[in-house]
Amino acid sequence: MAYSDEVVDHYENPRNVGTLDKNDTAVGTGLVGAPACGDVMRLQIKVTDDGRIEDARFKTYGCGSAIASSSLVTEWVKGRTIDEALAIKNRDIADHLALPPVKIHCSVLAEDAIRAAISDYKTKKGLD
């Protein structure tokens, strides 16, 4: 199976790989997927006091499409408000990366990661 140029680019030059301090109250961490299923994504966001995502980091265990999906998402959420980030849908990710049907679950996982990270942030801040 051939990968799209977008997937190859994100896989070879992943954006924003790394770790933020998960104990920082401004940081939300989302860990989704399962090792047994072959993909685990961890997305972390750092949110300013006025609710804007100023930084994002990821680490992913998974195929090239999973790595590309999470790398792309870190780029997309940066600079967005929380509500704007929640508007990112797996369809947008899959379309942008030209994922084949068998890899759609990678984009679903990336959307889940955004939700999980925001939910963790909100819980920490007592916003829920």
Residue span binding another protein (CB under 8 A) among the ranges 10-18, 47-55, 72-80, 86-94: 10-18
19 forms part of the interface with another protein (CB under 8 A): yes
Residue 66 touching another protein (CB under 8 A): yes
106 catalytic, yes or no? yes
CA angle in degrees (0–180, nearest 5) for 26-84-30: 45
Catalytic residue among 8, 17, 37, 98: 37
Closest CA to 28 of 72, 69, 89, 86: 86
| Binding region for another protein (CB under 8 A) out of 45-53, 62-70, 77-85, 117-125 | 62-70
CA 81/CA 106 separation, integer angstroms: 23
> In terms of CB distance, is 23 or 34 closer to another protein?
34
Half-sphere exposure at residue 99, Cβ-oriented, CA atoms within 13 angstroms: 26
Q: Which of residues 30-59 bind another protein (CB under 8 A)?
A: 31-42, 59
Q: For residue 82, how far is the Cα from the chain centroid?
A: 13
